Amino acid sequence: MSFSVGIIGLPNVGKSTLFKALTKKQVDISNYPFCTIDPNVGTVKVPDQRLEQLAQILNPKQVLPTYIEFVDIAGLVKGAHQGEGLGNQFLSRIREVDALIEIVRSFTDTNITHVSGKIDPPGDIETIKLELIFADLASVEKRLTKVKKETKSQDKIALKLAGILEKIKKTLGDGQPIRELNLAEEEKALIADLNLLTSKPIIHVFNIDEKSINDQSSTINNQIHLCAKLEADLADLSPEETKEYLKEYGQDNSALDTLILSVYKKLNLITFFTTQNQILQAWTIPFGTKAPEAAAKIHTDLAQGFIRAEVINWQNLITAGSIQNARETGQLRIEGKDYLIQDGEIIHFKFNS
């Protein structure tokens, strides 16, 4: 299972520029099954210094990072929920992703017109927020009409779902996204098939001018600020050239790395590692994943025949110097099927073939 993030925003805000910068950092996923990717989807590696440190200890023949898919979604315009612009195509594409990055234009360029005629970040955010709310409201009202008919027979699930939908309808009617509701897991499960847009985690990225990179006053609500044009330029440079280029702006790292890791955190994801067949590989799972479910990420056979997992924290492995040393000194733990995988653990799954 891969995790996908949709890049959304009004026209001419820098979405495509940011997407191009991201996809120039693509990870080669030829080692993964079913890796055919649409033209507007980029598979981007998750930066992780732990891989480099583990590689120095384990000396693998191959190092495979984990990745997240970024989807460049067509620009939204006011009235999209009523079919304006690419309307329905835009909204249906958003339903397929796990999280959203909204690009908000904060740069000025007389050669690139703003869809509303002026630079207005708060106004742009409100426009997209309302379009997503209106689209969700239409979906909820449609489902509620159907469910109310089912409640006449006093069906328990229908009654419960109707209550949830009424609560959601009121929240949307008040102009608030569903993510503000803090629904219980059971409630989320009952409405999961609706794929409601405002229930998805969202990160606002303000696309700023190069001259504003070190301007702290440009910070809005502690959201991510980056210059998409600069990031696209950096993507064409070598690591050494990138380091020198960033120095000129007083930066240590590419803002893209910060963005990717912010998405990872927003989705509540963690990473575990495997070291089979001289391949050091990182894998992405949600926080709270049990050992057999993590094993299934690698192959369903590992989950179906799961016996136990040998586990060691990555820092403990570096201290031990090798898997063999860790095993001999008793630093490898044995965990069963109810064990919850923790971020940064190296796992070896034992299973019946």
113-117, 120-124, 137-141, 250-254: least confidently modelled range: 113-117
pLDDT confidence of residue 81: 52
CATH of the domain at 306: 3.10.20.30
The residue behind tokens 């080669």 is 28
pLDDT confidence of residue 118: 83
Please state the rounded mean pLDDT for residues 71-76. 77
In a domain, 312, yes or no: yes
pLDDT confidence of residue 247: 83
**Would you place residue 28 in the very low, low, confident or very high pLDDT band (cuts 50, 70, 90)?**
very low
Residues 6+ apart with CB under 8 A from 344: 50, 270, 271, 272, 273, 313, 314, 315
In a domain, 204, yes or no: no
Please state the rounded mean pLDDT for residues 94-114. 86
In a domain, 225, yes or no: no
In a domain, 297, yes or no: yes
Higher pLDDT, 159 or 78: 159
- Give residue-wise pLDDT tens across range 289-338: 999 999 999 988 888 899 999 999 999 999 999 989 998 988 999 999 99
Which structural domain, as residue segments, surrounds residue 308? 288-351
Position 34 pLDDT exceeds 90: no
Domains contained in the chain, number? 1
In a domain, 296, yes or no: yes
In a domain, 41, yes or no: no
In a domain, 50, yes or no: no
pTM here is 0.82
79/44 Cα distance (integer angstroms): 32
CB of 5 closer than 8 Å to CB of 12 = no
In a domain, 326, yes or no: yes
- Give residue-wise pLDDT tens across range 258-299: 888 888 888 999 999 999 889 999 999 999 999 999 999 998
pLDDT confidence of residue 116: 73
N-to-C CA span, the chain: 22
